[in-house]
Every structure is written in C-alpha cells, then in structure tokens.
Amino acid sequence: MPRMIFVNLPVTDLARSTAFYEAIGAEKNPQFSDDTAACMVLSDTIHVMILTHDKFAQFTPKRIADAHETSEVLICVSEDSREGVDRITERALAAGGREPRAAQDYGFMYGRSFEDPDGHIWEPMWMDMEAAKEAMAQPAAA
C-alpha cells in the first residue's frame, strides 16, 4: 500500500468548508464523516480531515491557531500542468478562497497560492523535473 497523508485542519463552519473542498475537486468520504468532521479525498493518497474546533481540540493540547492571523503550515500539492495549477486556484477563488500572493513562475516551476475559508494556505504547483535538474546543474552567476 502506498504511503498516505491525512492533513487535519480545524474549521469554524464544517458545511462551508465541505462545500469549498468539493468545489476544488475533493470528494467527501461519508465513511469517515459526521457532524464534527469530514474526510475530503483529494487523491488516492491525500485526504484532508476538516474538523470542527471542538473535534480538533480532542487531538491536541495546544491552542488552535487562527490561520487568518498566523501561518501554521503551507500545504503544497502537485498538479500535472500549469493549467492544473490555475484551474484549482480559480476554483478555490470562485468558492470563496483568497489568493494571498501573486503566482510564482520560474520557468521550470510554476505555483500559485490560495487560502480556504479558515485561512489555511494551499500552494498548488507544477514542475518540469527535467528542466529543474538542468536549472539546478547550472553554476550560480558571480
């Protein structure tokens, strides 16, 4: 079985967050969802557990960060193309997300950034691995 990642995020409005993640292409897995949590499947190996604050607090003794005020994590997810990066970002913006910074284009790598309704930052990116290897092999300019 391939390794999987389950990103757990606290949310203030479970229904709003569920709708947001569905809008960017995630599917809700009802087997692991209830009125306190929703398992949103981004791929076979990436799942996002969105949890009410009360539910999230059951898993940590720490205070829950307000992601609108502080950065607790940047979640980078790969896309198959530059167009894929734009597509998921535009879906996020149309669903109420916010784009906190301009796109970053390095030629061999392209990325954008969006925040979900609770301020959690996602960074979809695409990279041409062969071009990246070539760029990294070039000597630095003096």
Report the range of poorest mean pLDDT among 72-76, 93-97, 127-131, 137-141.
137-141
Residue (of 6, 119, 122) closest to 64 by Cα position: 119
Please tell me the pTM assigned to this model.
Answer: 0.87
What domains does the chain contain, in order, with CATH numbers? 1-60 (3.10.180.10), 70-142 (3.10.180.10)
Residue with the larger pLDDT of the pair 6 and 2: 6
Can you spell out the DSSP letters for 17-85?
A: HHHHHHHTT-EEEGGG--SSEEEEESSSSEEEEEEEHHHHHTT-SSPPP-TTTS---EEEEE-SSHHHH
Question: Could you give the CA distance from residue 24 to residue 88 in angstroms, rounded to a whole number?
Answer: 6
Give tens-digit pLDDT for 26-67.
999 999 999 999 999 999 999 999 999 999 999 999 999 999
Residue 93, helix vs strand vs coil: helix
The mean per-residue pLDDT over the stretch 3-20 comes to 97
Question: Could you give the CA distance from residue 65 to residue 24 in angstroms, rounded to a whole number?
Answer: 24
**H or E element, residue 52:** strand 46-52
Amino acid 139: pLDDT: 67
pLDDT category, 72, cuts 50, 70, 90?
A: confident
Instruction: Report whether pLDDT(142) > 60.
Output: no
